[in-house]
Amino acid sequence: MEEPMPLADSSSMMRVAFVGKGGAGKSTIAGTFARLLARRGQPVLALDSDPMPGMPYALGVAVDDCPIPDDVVVSGGEGEPRWVLRSDLDAAAIVDRYAAEGPDGVRYLQFGNLWGHVVRLQKAQHAWSQVVAELDRDQWHLVGDLPGGTRQAMFGWARYADTVCLVVESTVKSMHTAARLLTLSQAKWGPSSLVLVVNKACDDSDAARICERLELPAAAVVPHDPEAGRGDRRGAAPLDAAPDGALAHAVDALVDRVVSLYSFGEEVAG
């Protein structure tokens, strides 16, 4: 697979989604990415489609469950989804009301956490999906975190993204899942660009092994960062636990790499 080419987009905002096997570090990198991008003075909306808590910890958002209430949707008409936003609400209003405020000015939108049966989240999921589809492309940079594995990604939950970051650690299982996720780029709705992020690298051979297996160059190599790991155990975001650590520096380089794919990249570059 060749190096991704800069996107010939007309938008002034990026739409990035992070995918990979569970435990690879998607939430950690996505949350850190969102905050570092926001620190460049950019408006960032962090999107979480994982019904389990993860991204809030990586962002350092005070609340980990801020569901979109069921009463924002009504039954859809013929040819519409099962549930649609009420006519008095639009995507901007939902973000304004229900996206939590996080550090560095990041806003955080999820449909809610799963506490019991999946059906309980159905209305909020429909609302979330409609909001993401209808958001003004020029208002927010979107940074999304998908649940681990292939299910959501293959079912089109990352279709809002024009760049997908595939997060991989140096285990056979993680590379196996990543190999399957590479096929996302072949989907009709697939991203314009798919970049590889090597995570928890202990040495140069880790990145080399992953790049060789996936036949893709690494856009970023994020080293194992013990201080960030200790912060993770007590629920601290990487940027708060290790603000000048190896993980923070590597993800900042990833932000540079991703913005360089866009025509407006120089304006956002660090």
Binding site for other proteins (CB under 8 A): 22-23, 50-54, 57, 64, 113-118, 147-149, 151, 170-173, 232-235
Q: Nearer to other proteins by C-beta: 41 or 116?
A: 116
Cα atoms in the Cβ-side hemisphere of radius 13 Å centred on 238: 31
Q: Which is nearer to other proteins, 117 or 188 (CB)?
A: 117
* DSSP 8-class letter at 51: S
Shortest CB 46 distance to other proteins, Å: 15
State the Cα angle at 29 between 26 and 35, rounded to 5°.
135
Minimum CB–partner distance for residue 233 and other proteins (Å): 5
Nearest approach in angstroms of CB 235 to other proteins is: 3
In the complex, the smallest distance separating the C-beta of residue 165 from other proteins, rounded to whole angstroms, is: 19
Q: Which is nearer to other proteins, 146 or 259 (CB)?
A: 146
Our CA angle for 86, 90, 91, nearest 5°, is 125
Q: How many Å apart are CA 215 and CA 1, to the nearest integer?
A: 6
For residues 243 and 39, give the distance between their C-alpha atoms in angstroms, rounded to a whole number.
13
Residue for token pair 């650690």: 169
Nearer Cβ to other proteins (64/225): 64
Least distance to other proteins, CB of residue 186, Å? 24
Q: Give the C-alpha separation, 115 to 117, whole Å.
A: 7
- Closest to other proteins by CB, 8 vs 172, is 172
Nearer to other proteins, 28 or 42 (CB): 28
For the stretch 81-86, contacts whose Cβ atoms lie closer than 8 Å and that sit 24 or more positions apart, written own/partner, are: 81/126, 81/129, 81/130, 82/122, 82/126, 83/122, 83/123, 83/126, 83/127, 84/126, 84/130, 85/127, 85/130, 85/131
Shortest gap between Cβ of 238 and other proteins (angstroms)? 12
